[in-house]
Every structure is written in structure tokens, then in C-alpha cells.
Amino acid sequence: MNAPYPWQARQWQDLLRLSDRDRLGHALLFSGREGVGVADLALTFAHRTLCEGPSPDVRPCGKCRGCTLYQAGNHPDLKILAPVEEGKAIVIDQVRELAGFYALKSHYGRAKIVFICPADAMNPAAANALLKVLEEPPPGALLMLAAHRFSAISMTIRSRCIRVPCEQVDITMALPWLAKELPNFSPAALTRVLRQAGGAPLTARAIANSDRSELDSEIEAAFAGIQQGRTHALLQAKQFADVSLAELLRVLISLISRLILAKFGCRSIYDPADEPLEPGLQGLSDHLNLKHLYALLDLLFESKLLLSRQSGLREADIAEALWLGLGRASGRQGK
Ligand SMILES: [Zn+2]
């Protein structure tokens, strides 16, 4: 793990300052979208807090008892709460386990840390149970919550945490980092993959390493084909049936957002490219009007909500309905 990443230097310094002045309080809420390293930053700070090295000024020493236990994944003063299965909720029974964890004193005299990730995956009952812990924090407790959707964390929980916002990524720091991670990529290819990732560097690295960087262009082409009446939505639903819905939504939300911004002659602050649209997409932008683009964006966010709520619907069914929705919404021309 390389956190703190270059674009997290300010957050890291803030955390060290709070820690050195004994002002951390009992709860920290790290927030930021996926792929910017929110959980990595929180975990590295947890590691640093557990380090017993002579002067863990900057990073954990990596050699002491605390570091050895942390690296082996069995430090007795660190408990991790995560969904039992990826994409599922963190449930109340998991939060109740904290009572047992906090019943014991710290083994090595440092904070007893609970790391909850993603904190926005707690269901309402779990969040309520956590609130009780936050209202009367046990001595020595340090709860670290990492959330991708800050808005999904209740006001009552937020108000009891020190917030560590990690949303913004300075592209001028992300690009050199990505260049080191992907030494075989040309500057143009780095820019392209970072744009595909919506400016999230870890997502960009994952896309590049998974050899799926062509997938974005293929989905974009399919979307353009549907909008311009050159292909049928159901055909495309079949062609991309093996692509996860999360991936599909990531590509399409990024594309539609860029098309909307391009209508205003702007681009996202996370967009590393100079031009808002690739030349091939200009025709599509001219073809679609703003009202239509916003309707498409609504459709995508509805699907995203269905996916995140674990509504019991099959992912494949949501994806097919989405493709059909994109098809139905097609053909409205004008500027
Ligand atoms: Zn150490």
C-alpha cells in the first residue's frame, strides 16, 4: 500500500497534526469517491497509530511489534468491519461485536481502532447501533469510517466525527504517480485512461492493468449507435451481458457528464485532457440536446440506486432494462 498518495499530502499532514496534539477525538470520517484511495489513507493512518517505532513521524516504521502484527493482519487492537460479501450491507450484528472488542483494554497501550469500510454500506439498524457507540465512546476508542458516498452517512453520525475529505484529486499530482505505476504507457495513453476513470487514479491503474481499456470505447460506440439509430438496444444488451453493471454505469455516467459539460464548453476539474470530447464524440454531442442528456443521466442514476439498494433485482435484469431505457430515450434530435 502506497498511501498517503501524493494527492493526499494535505490530509496526511492534518491527521499528523491532530494526532500530535492529541486532538483526534474518537471518530474520523474519511470520504471520497471510489478510486481515490480513501480506505488506503485511513488504513495507513490506523497503521501509523498502532506503530510503536521510536519516532513514527511520517510513516509507520514497518519493523516494530505493532507494525509486524498489523502487517500480519492480526493486531489485537484493530478491528475491521466490512460487508461479509462484497456489495452487501454491514449489519447490526457486526456492529454489536464492538461491545466485546471494547470490553478489553488496549493490548499495547495505544488506541483501540475500529475501521468501518465502506461506512455507507451500513444498513439503518447498524448505523443506529454505531451511533450509540459514538455517543458514549469507550476510553481509548478510535473509530475510522471510510465512505464513498458522504451523503449516505446520517447527519447524526457525521456530527460526531472529524471529517477527512478526500474527494479532490490534483490531476497534476495524479498523472506523474500514474506514469510511475504504468511505465509502459505514453503520456497520451495515461491521459486517456485517467479520463476513463473520471480522474480517479486507482481506478485508472485498475483499468490499465485489467486490459479492459478498450471496453470504454466499445461501450461508448454502442451508446452512440443506439442514440443515432444505427443499432438496437437489445442487441447491445446481449453484446455487453458479461460486463458488470457497475462498470457499465461508470463508463456511461462519465460519458454523459462529459457530453453535458461540453454543451457548456467546459470540462470536469478531474479531466486531465485539454479538450472536453474526443473528436469522434463531437458528432454525438451535436446530435443530442441538453434535456435529453439530463434524462439519460437520470436513468443511469436510477439504475445505480437500484444496484446500491440491493433491491433483490438481478443485476442482469437491471442492466437489460437500462439498455432498453437508453433505446427508448433515443432519437430526440436537436440542440
Ligand atoms: Zn512500527
- pLDDT by residue (tens digit) across 314-323? 888 999 999 9
* ipTM > 0.90, yes or no: yes
Q: What is the DSSP letter of 8?
A: G
Alpha helix (H) ranges present in 197-332?
201-209, 213-227, 233-239, 245-263, 279-287, 290-308, 315-328
pLDDT band for position 335 (cuts 50, 70, 90): very low
3-state secondary structure at position 96: helix
Same domain, 236 and 295: yes
Residue 281: per-residue pLDDT: 79
Residue numbers of the domain that contains 309:
212-328
- The residues, ordered by sequence, that sit 6+ positions from 281 with a Cβ below 8 Å of its Cβ are 220, 224, 255, 258, 259
Q: Report the share of the chain in percent with pLDDT over 70.
A: 95
Measured between alpha carbons, how far is residue 116 from residues 26, 29, 307 in Å? 13, 10, 21
Same domain, 161 and 57: yes
- 69 C-alpha to center of ligand 1: Å? 9
The domain that contains 156 carries what CATH number?
A: 3.40.50.300
CA distance 179 to 163: 30
Residue 163: per-residue pLDDT: 96
CA distance 147 to 61: 27
Residues in the chain: 335
Question: Are 156 and 133 spatial neighbours (Cβ–Cβ below 8 Å)?
Answer: no
Report residue 39 as a C-alpha cell.
480506505
Residue 195 in domain: no
Sign of the CA dihedral 25, 31, 37, 43? positive
- 12 C-alpha to center of ligand 1: Å? 17
Same domain, 229 and 112: no
Residue 177 in domain: no
Ligand 1 ion: nearby residues, β-carbon < 5 Å: 51, 53, 60-61, 64, 67
Element (H, E) at 62: none
- 45 C-alpha to center of ligand 1: Å? 12
Q: Which whole number is the average pLDDT over 8-24?
A: 92
Q: Which whole number is the average pLDDT over 288-312?
A: 86
Same domain, 219 and 155: no
Among 132, 112, 113, 137, smallest CA distance to 122 is for: 132
- 60 C-alpha to center of ligand 1: Å? 5
- 68 C-alpha to center of ligand 1: Å? 7
pLDDT band for position 58 (cuts 50, 70, 90): confident
Digit-coded pLDDT (tens) for 132-185 = 999 999 989 999 999 999 999 999 999 999 999 999 999 899 999 999 999 999
Same domain, 159 and 220: no
- 51 C-alpha to center of ligand 1: Å? 4
Question: Are 25 and 160 spatial neighbours (Cβ–Cβ below 8 Å)?
Answer: no
Number of domains in the chain: 2
- 28 C-alpha to center of ligand 1: Å? 21
- 63 C-alpha to center of ligand 1: Å? 5
Residue 196 in domain: no
- 143 C-alpha to center of ligand 1: Å? 20
Q: Is 322 left (phi over 0), alpha (psi -120 to 50) or beta?
A: alpha
